[in-house]
Structures are given as structure tokens and as C-alpha cells.
Amino acid sequence: METQSIPESEISALAVVKQLLPWRELLAGGLGTRHGNAQLELIDVLIVMLAAFFNPMVRSQRLLEALSSQQWMQDKNGTRRIPRATLSDALKRFDPRVLRPLIDQLSSKIPALRQRDADLATVTRQIVAADGTYLNLAGEVAWSLLSRRGKSSQIQSRVRLDFQLDIQTLAPLEVEVGGGDQGSESQALAGRLRPGVIYVADRGFFSFTLLNSLLAVDSNFVIRMKKDVGFAPRQEMPLSPRDRELDLRSDMTGVLPGPQSRGNGDLRSYASPPPEALLRRVVVWDARNQTEVILLTDMLDVPAVTIAEIYRRRWMIELFFKWLKCHAGFDHAISHSPRGLTFQFYVAVIGTLLLHLATGRPVNKYALYWLGAVACGQATWEEMQAGMARIEREKALERARYARKKAQKKLA
């Protein structure tokens, strides 16, 4: 069968792929697998899959083989041909955890966003959003998570990505790919906590086990409470004009008493007792959904508006998930093994980090739009740089106009 030709010009950010070449020695030498007569190195798979990340057409093992077979690809990146059968076997055998040092190095090089929000000025710890997202798989994947499709009786196979994201740099920090044996999202997070950071999560993560685990590793948290969880107030905190301006309804310290049903004084109905520490309950009014958002935190010495703002930043992880599925080409699995899926996801993470480093610009929703356009071949590198520079100029002019109006208002 004739090998399909993939022109070099179709790889929309080949210069970004070449940023991996200095790591060849780190990821070579023994990190390979043998299938039949072919020996395959992890670094070759990583480089070819990263090149495919920037070409929306290359979304199968057969096309990855075609890309790796072309002479220009081998000459420019020092890779070898990757037979499809060998790739399938390699994705089952490679341990994706060997890529963690590379991801950590790339993440550490990304500068934090310039701090412009006065409401977060008192926060010095890293803010990490935790969440999970689901991807549909073929029904024959035995290790997947089986669930109903919406309200219908149809059963679908899914895999969950348990994810941690630095919301100030949009750098992915932790990821775990799991199916039906991974437990709940809060259980997965409790096993992969980082010390000394602020975790922000939605109410699906609320559990006494997780709260106790966070306190044990000296990490703070801002987690949305479920409305049926009891809270015993100790002290009502006064709301500032700024708090009221942002629709904060109450701010109080207290403790979690745990379940109050008769005969449950030893709290045996819960997997873990409630934390004994003094906590804080901040209630914010959500005008869009006409409901109260109840936030629980262990941070007692920061303004209430800061707690609300930290939780508002949680939407950044939802934005990242949307980018991952819609623009980063992670809507099609090229492997059905847990290791292969994790490897594919790490390739998307590495591609994202390399794009951030190559642009040298703060990351926001506009940057994600352009990064996605480049990744899926809808824009050139030069168009992205010009477009992001134009947006930054426009935003700078808007801030300057706002500052002038504010100064004029004070003088009036």
C-alpha cells in the first residue's frame, strides 16, 4: 500500500516541535519497546505525535506511521519510521509518568500572569483548580466507566480525566486518566494533592475526606458547599462596601458538625469525620442563575471578596477543557489502553506548554483562541502573533481610557 504523503507545510507549528530536540537525551536510552523486529524509542513517538498535534488530519495510527515515514520528518527531527503495529504495542507499554519531569520543566518556565486584580493582591500561594471531564470511548473498552447517556437508557463507555490546572498560568499540573476503578473525583484528587497551594473546586468535590486531606498537607481550599451540609456558625463577620458591591450575602466563621441524625453521634454514616478546624462560610449571590453560591474555606484572614474572586477563577479550567476537546484534537482516541490515552493527553499538554513558551505572552481566553487556531491549522504562526499583539494593544487602550474616566470622576 502506498504511503500517504503529508506535506511539511501542513504542520502549522513545526518550529514548536523542534523545541523538544534538546530533551532527546533525557527521553532516550532504554525508554523504548520492542515489537517484532522493530525497536521504538519513546522520544520518537513523542516527537511524531507532537507534530500530529499541529495537523488536524493526522488523527490515527496509520497516519502517524505515514508522517513518520517521510524523509523530511526524519531529517528535521531525527526520528525514525514508526510502524503502526509497533506504535499500538508501545502505547500500551510506555509508562507516561516518565514525561512528568519534562512537563514540570516546561511548566516552571511559564511566567505567571501579571497581577492586575486588586481582589487577589493578598494571595501569595499558587491557586490550583481541580475538576474532571469525560471523553466517550468505544463500547469494547472493558476498563472504561459505564454510564447512561443523558436521561435515556442507552449505556455509553467513558473515560474521566482528573485534572489540576494553575489558573494564573493555565499550566497543567496533574492529570490522571481513569475508568470505573478510580472512585469519585474527590477521591482521585485526595490521592494527588500538592502541599502549600490553594485548591478551588466545585461542589462535586465536597467531602470530609478531601477536606481533612487538604488540611493535612497544609494546603488551603475554596470549595463550593452542598446546601444540605450543616454549618454551625461561631461569629458573623461584617461585610465591606466592596463585598456588598459584588453581591456577597454573608461571611461567618464556624465548624462543620457533621450529620445530625438520631443515633449517629459517632458519625459512622460518613467515611470520614468532619474536620475539627475553624472554617469560614461565604455566601455569594449568583444573579445569572438566581441562586446562592455557598463557599467553604479555611482562609480566615483574607477579605471575603478574595474568596469569591478565587472561586470565580475556577471557570478557567472549564475554558481549558473546552479548548482541549474543541481545538487540541483530543476528541479522538488513538489508543484504547489507559497508558496510551494518558500518553496522548500528555502530548496535548506538552504541545500547549510549548506554544505558551513560544509566544512569550500572558495566557487568557484570547490566547487560547489563537493557540487553538494554530494547533488545528486554521491560522499561521505569524497571524497568531499579530492577532495577539493587536488584542493586547486594544486592551491596554481600554485600561488607559478607564483610568482617565475614573480620575476625572474623582475630580468632579
CB proximity list for 180: less than 8 A, separation 6 or greater: 143, 144, 145, 146
Distance CA 270, CA 188 (A): 18
Q: What is the pTM of this model?
A: 0.73
pLDDT computed for residue 388 by the predictor = 82
pLDDT computed for residue 257 by the predictor = 87
pLDDT computed for residue 315 by the predictor = 85
pLDDT computed for residue 188 by the predictor = 83
**In terms of Cα–Cα distance, which of 181, 185, 77, 178 is closest to 130?**
185
Cβ contact 226:202 at 8 Å: no
pLDDT in tens, the chain (412 residues): 445 666 555 555 666 777 777 776 666 655 555 555 557 778 888 888 888 877 767 778 888 888 888 888 888 777 888 888 888 888 888 888 888 888 878 877 776 544 455 566 667 788 999 988 877 654 445 444 445 555 555 555 677 788 888 887 777 777 777 655 566 788 888 888 999 999 999 998 999 999 999 999 999 999 999 888 889 999 999 998 888 888 999 999 999 987 665 555 555 556 678 899 999 999 999 888 899 999 999 999 999 999 999 999 888 888 778 777 765 556 667 777 778 888 888 887 787 777 777 777 655 667 667 766 766 667 777 788 888 888 888 888 988 888 888 788 777 6
pLDDT computed for residue 256 by the predictor = 92
Return the amino acid letter for 299.
M
End-to-end CA distance of the chain: 79
Q: How many CB atoms lie within 10 A of CB 181?
A: 8
**In terms of Cα–Cα distance, which of 29, 70, 73 is closest to 50?**
73
As given in the structure block, the three cell numbers for residue 279 are 472554617
pLDDT computed for residue 143 by the predictor = 44
Query: 268 by DSSP, 3-state: which?
Result: coil
pLDDT computed for residue 12 by the predictor = 55
